[in-house]
Structure 1
Amino acid sequence: MQANVVKKTRYFETTWFMWISLIIFPPLGLILLWRQGRYSKKKRITISIVALVYFVLPIIISTTVKLPLFNDHSELVSAFNISKKELNVSNEIMKVSKNGNVKTFKIDEDITLIENLDENGQIHELIMIGQGEGIDITTSLALLVGMTNTELSNVEIGDVLKELRFFDKDFKYDKNETELEVNTIRYNLKYDQTQGVIFSISKVN
Structure 2
Amino acid sequence: MTDLKTKSEKTRDRLLTAASRIFAEKGYQDSTIADICEQAQANIASVNYHFGDKQTLYLEAWRHAFNHELGQYPPDGGVSQQAPVEQRLAGRIQSLIRRLADDDSYSFAIIHKEMAQPTRLLADILEKEINPQRQQMFGLLRECLGQDASEQQLQYCHASIMGQCFQLLRLKQMQQARPQRALPSDMSDIGAFAEHVVDFSLAGIRAIRSQTLPKRIQA
TM > 0.5 between the two? Answer: no
Pick 1 or 2: higher relative contact order, CA cutoff 8 A, min separation 6. Answer: 2
Shorter-chain TM-score tier? under 0.3
Question: TM-score if structure 1 supplies the norm length?
Answer: 0.23
Larger Cα Rg: Structure 1 or Structure 2? 1
TM-score under structure 2 length normalisation: 0.22
Larger fraction in strand: 1
